[in-house]
Amino acid sequence: MKPNLNNYLITLTEAVTLEPKQHNFGVNLKANLYQETDKDLQHGPRIKFFKSGQENKPIKITLNIDPDKIKVITKKIVYLKIISESKLNKLLVKIKFYRIALLNACYDTKMRDVDVIKQMKEIDEGNIPKYIGNSRRIK
């Protein structure tokens, strides 16, 4: 099942910006994906979604190779001001679906928008890209 992910803006911290017309995310929110050089990655891979201009009020979601370990870590009272529970659940399905591409972007600081898009398209076609894993120890 290919999730429909249109209308999201994804920004991979200091590396990648994906416009809604480029990818398959479906919410009108920006997203930051911590990369290996980001000090916040010490907490493990995360993706943050937020409304433009409200970067200080994000929805934080952990990333993991195991889809069952991908979780929202933002309090419900906060994320309900940004997105409905049903839309958040659909977003989680999409994040789990594309987790390899998102994790690879976390750990490969050379990845750019075209690389993430390419890996997401490969996933759409049933060809799962190689997971590069973390190249350094995460505390």
Q: Where are the domains of the chain?
A: 10-124
Bin 60: left if φ > 0, else alpha if -120 < ψ < 50, else beta.
beta
Band (pLDDT 50/70/90 cuts) for residue 14 is low
Band (pLDDT 50/70/90 cuts) for residue 22 is low
DSSP state of 109: T
At residue 125, the pLDDT reads 96
At residue 4, the pLDDT reads 54
- CA distance linking residue 110 with residue 46, whole number of Å: 18
At residue 96, the pLDDT reads 94
pLDDT per residue over 45-104, tens digit each?
888 777 766 767 788 888 899 999 999 999 999 889 888 999 899 889 999 999 999 888
Residue 59 contacts residue 32 (beta carbons within 8 Å) = no
Task: Indicate the angle between helix axes 99-107 and 113-124, nearest 10 degrees.
Answer: 150
pLDDT higher for 42 or 61? 61
At residue 137, the pLDDT reads 38
First and final C-alpha spacing in the chain: 35
Residue 32 contacts residue 48 (beta carbons within 8 Å) = yes
pLDDT per residue over 102-114, tens digit each?
888 888 878 887 8
Helices marked H in the chain: 76-79, 85-97, 99-107, 113-124
- CA distance linking residue 53 with residue 33, whole number of Å: 17
